[in-house]
Structure 1
Amino acid sequence: MKIHWDEERCCHAGICVKELPQVFKVEDGQFKIDAEAAAEAEIRRVVSLCPSGALAIEEK
């Protein structure tokens, strides 16, 4: 599973960072995603909460 983030589409609601801070985080001003830091089901749940649709999952 790979997670894509569309910076242009993102409305910066912060739901992903609040729900799964070990996966979705801002470090040194850059948005980072660590898809290995949580269970796949939990990541899918949080991606589905993205209000702008900026997060998407690509199946490998």
Structure 2
Amino acid sequence: MRLEVDRERCVGAGMCVLTAPEVFAQDEEDGRVRLLDRDPAEIGDAVQLCPAAAITANA
């Protein structure tokens, strides 16, 4: 699975970090998502839980 994040769309809610902290982090300056792993084995419900739909996953 290949992940992409749209930092401009991100609202900094942090649901992705709570769901998959090994894959996502929040930027300390602006609170927006930072992608730590583009090809993770598992991301749980992070894509579905993102309130801004800033995360996309492609097979």
| Count of matched residue pairs | 55
For normalisation by structure 2, the TM-score amounts to 0.71
1:51 aligns to what?
Answer: 51
C-alpha distance in 1, partners of 2:10/2:57? Answer: 15
- With 19-28 and 6-15 compared, the bigger mean Cα shift is at 19-28
**Superposed CA RMSD:** 2.3
For normalisation by structure 1, the TM-score amounts to 0.70
Are 1:31 and 2:30 an aligned pair? no
Q: CA deviation at 1:28?
A: 7.5
Q: CA deviation at 1:51?
A: 0.3
1:16 aligns to what?
Answer: 16
Larger Rg, first or second structure (1 or 2): 1
Report the AA paired with residue 51 of structure 1.
P
| Richer in helix (by share) | 1
Q: CA deviation at 1:18?
A: 1.4
